[in-house]
Amino acid sequence: MSSQHSQLSIVRGIGPREEPDPSYGGYEPTIGLKAVAKILNCSAEQCRRLAEAKKIPVFRIGYRWKSTASAVVRWREEQLALIRHSRPSEER
């Protein structure tokens, strides 16, 4: 297990198979681009550019970009899996 993955798994509510916290009425709370940037380990500005290009799982509420932590973590894991599977076997 990578150190980044272990860091993500200790934050409640962002695991890929966790159910939303019932205290929120069954819905997972939204997060802003700063929190998305922290999960993806990049700047908020880079996240804004990715959001505008529709390359990360975000949506707009008014002028603000929002997402859920679980959607971002799931997307990140999918991207990492694609990278792992796309490398030639001699590089693995």
Could you read off the pLDDT tens digit of each residue along the chain, which spans 92 residues?
Answer: 444 443 333 334 444 455 556 666 778 999 999 999 999 999 999 999 999 999 999 999 999 999 999 999 999 999 999 888 776 766 55
| C-alpha 67 chain-centroid distance | 8
- Both tokens of 81, joined, read 């899996």
Q: What is the CATH number for 80?
A: 1.10.10.10
Which uninterrupted H or E stretch holds 66?
strand 64-66
pLDDT at 10: 34
Confidence (pTM): 0.67
pLDDT at 83: 86
- Both tokens of 80, joined, read 């990492």
In the chain, where does DSSP find H-type helix? 3-9, 33-40, 44-52, 69-86
pLDDT at 9: 34
Q: Give the count of domains, the chain.
A: 1
- Please give the residue range of the domain that contains residue 70: 3-91
